[in-house]
Amino acid sequence: MKMNSRYPVLLLCAVVALLDACSRDAATGAVSAPGTLVTVVAAGSRDVPVAVSTMGRVEGRASPLVAAEVDARVLRLTVDEGDALAVGDVMAELDATTFALELRAASAETARAQAMLDNEERRVARLHDLLQKGSIAREQYDDAAAQLAVVRAQRQAVEARLRLADDQLGKAIVRAPIAGRVQARLVSVGDFVKRGNPLFEIATSGALRALLPFPEPLAAQLRPGLAVSLSTPVAPGSVARGVIAELRPAVGAQSRAVWAIVDIDNPGDWRPDSTVRAQIVVATHADAVVVPERCLVRRPAGEVVYVIVEGRAAQRVVMVGERFDGVAEISAGLAAGELIALEGAGYLSDGALVRTDGNLP
């Protein structure tokens, strides 16, 4: 078979075209990749707050005890710990059998005393008419008037016993004296309580008090008047602000640990006994060097930034101070105004070529 003479020519042309394309691609690659593409920011300066933080709890600023006002056995409890209360809500019922009987007896005694009083008043009125007519001696009328005064006093005493019996019967129903939330239930059904025995503890939710524990190393930085910012998982996004009202030594602590006390108004739906996170600004670093936290890269030498100088990245080990809101304070290793890599910093090494494509600040 005779080979077609055009095939070698076509093959040669294809090879030449392929080599030409490869050479163009290589040239293009050399131009488009002179270094790592990064974005650049300038290190800034600002006053940096120095804050300490802790986890604590809030309680009602006023936590009154609801006590029994009569001696009786607990028949029923209508609230438990954590329940919300309005003024006048029924909290418990005590056995009122004795008080009901005393009220009935006092009512009957009052009716009897009233009947006696009515009879004596009619008798004195009749004797007074007879005295005016001269039909009786003055002494007889005076004796009747004195007897009327005695019966009237007896009627008043019986009325007082009736009011007392009615009051005791009413106090067998234990009601909330203030609005708030049940912080502690101190009795159970069947308990016999005496007058003055505490039954419940109520925490008011309008005025709150934060109790914030601090260990000795941090306690030395605290003082009354420092500003405090508080948040709680019970009400996400809600922030309460106040100041340290006082510092109290932790009872029983062997160290110098303290409680920082902060009085606040309830910003919304905060509940007594909720957990809170507190931040307290204890100092301010004036004109500190700051950079976005994303500029920091962890390397074997520590945390570094890459300073951009004449198209190259210079690795700079820095000392990081406070961190807040995505910003890091640089306490050593960098000056304000120096240009550093932001996006792409994690791909750099010391001396690496970089390109910014005109995105310099």
Q: Compute CA 57 distance to the chain's CA centroid, rounded to the nearest angstrom.
A: 7
User: Can you give the CATH number for the domain in which 246 is found?
Assistant: 2.40.30.170
**pLDDT the model gives residue 254:** 60
Residue 291 has pLDDT above 70, yes or no: yes
Residue that finishes a domain, picked among 269, 284, 299? 284
**pLDDT the model gives residue 253:** 54
Tens-place pLDDT, residues 203-239: 887 789 999 999 888 888 899 999 999 999 988 888 9
**pLDDT the model gives residue 266:** 87
Structural domain includes residue 158: yes
Share of the chain above pLDDT 90, in %: 65
User: Can you give the CATH number for the domain in which 311 is found?
Assistant: 2.40.420.20
Domain span at 143 = 99-171
**pLDDT the model gives residue 312:** 94
Question: Measured between alpha carbons, how far is 166 from 99 in angstroms, rounded to an integer?
Answer: 8
> Which residue from 328, 333, 326, 349 is spatially nearest to 38, judged by alpha carbons?
349
Structural domain includes residue 137: yes
Angle of helix 97-133 versus helix 138-171 axis, rounded to 10? 160
165 in the same domain as 279: no
Structural domain includes residue 234: yes
Question: Measured between alpha carbons, how far is 301 from 314 in angstroms, rounded to an integer?
Answer: 14
User: Can you give the CATH number for the domain in which 79 is found?
Assistant: 2.40.50.100
Q: Determine how many CB atoms are found less than 10 A away from the CB of residue 76.
A: 13
**pLDDT the model gives residue 82:** 84
Residue 13 has pLDDT above 70, yes or no: no
238 in the same domain as 181: no
278 in the same domain as 209: yes
Whether 178 and 161 have beta carbons less than 8 Å apart is answered as no
Residue 172 has pLDDT above 60, yes or no: yes
Structural domain includes residue 27: no
Task: State the pTM of this model.
Answer: 0.53
Q: Please give the average per-residue pLDDT across 288-313, as a whole number.
A: 95
Q: Please give the average per-residue pLDDT across 254-262, as a whole number.
A: 83
Structural domain includes residue 302: yes
Q: How many domains does the chain have?
A: 4
| Residue 88 pLDDT grade (very low, low, confident, very high; cuts 50, 70, 90) | very high
